[in-house]
Structure 1
Amino acid sequence: MILVALALVSAGAFFYYGATCIMSMHVRQEYRRYGIPHLRVFNGTLQMFGAGGVLIGLALTPLGALASLCLCILMLLGLQTRHRLHDPWRLRIPATTLAILNAVLFVLFLRA
């Protein structure tokens, strides 16, 4: 039950952030500030594929484990970018939360 609830939260967040990453003008400006504007659409696409993988993983647990691990790594890379730019901690909270959530999901998928 907890696996399903956490998977739905993760998938919902990453579908939202992935779509926002692709379509939002604000995010477009942020990626320029990060120095990686060429990765914006790719990153958003990875987030949405990861969200789909987490959902499909509810039926195929190895895929869920892989997707949640990849999303965790993606968020850790995002945290590294924020650290490099000396962003305040409040801007790191979403990526930190999603990295932890997907690390927990990874373990839960492995145990399922």
Structure 2
Amino acid sequence: MVLIVLALISGLAFLKYGFEVLFRVRLKNEFARYQMPGIRTFVGTMEVLGGLAVLLGLAIAPLGAFGAAGLTLLMVLGLSVRIRIRDTPRLMVPAAALACLNAVLVVLFLNS
């Protein structure tokens, strides 16, 4: 049950946010602020694919573990960018929380 709830939270969150990264002007401006506008499309695509992998992982556990591991890495890298540009801790919390959530999902998928 825990796996299902956490996978739904992560998968749906990354689907939503990935599409926002791809199509919202506000997120385009955020990537410019990060001084990394060229990777916005890649990051958005990886978030959508990772979210799908986590959701499909409920049926195919290795796929879920792979997707969650990729999202963990993506969030750790995103957190490092926020540290580099000296964002406030409040702005770092979502990336840190999602990194932890997906790290837990990797373990849960591997043990399911």
Above 0.5 in TM-score? Answer: yes
Identity %, equivalent residues = 46
Task: Calculate the TM-score normalised by the size of structure 2.
Answer: 0.98
SS of 2:103's equivalent?
Answer: helix
Matches within 5 A, 1:86-101: 86-101=86-101
Task: Calculate the TM-score normalised by the size of structure 1.
Answer: 0.98
CA distance in 1, matches of 2:63, 2:15: 17
**Structure 1: gaps of 5 or more residues:** none
SS of 2:86's equivalent?
Answer: coil
Task: Tell me the CA shift for residue 36 of structure 1.
Answer: 0.9
CA distance in 2, matches of 1:23, 1:90: 24
Matches within 5 A, 1:1-112: 1-112=1-112
Kindly provide the CA deviation profile for residues 20-66 of structure 1, in whole angstroms up to 9, marking residues without a partner as x: 10111111111011111011111001000000000111111111111
**Structure 2: gaps of 5 or more residues:** none
Q: Which letter does structure 2 place at the counterpart of 1:14? A: F
Give runs of ≥4 in structure 1 deviating > 4 Å.
Answer: none
CA distance in 2, matches of 1:3, 1:62: 13
Task: Tell me the CA shift for residue 81 of structure 1.
Answer: 0.2
CA distance in 1, matches of 2:7, 2:56: 10
Q: How many residues align?
A: 112
Q: Which letter does structure 1 place at the counterpart of 2:66? A: L
CA distance in 1, matches of 2:23, 2:56: 25
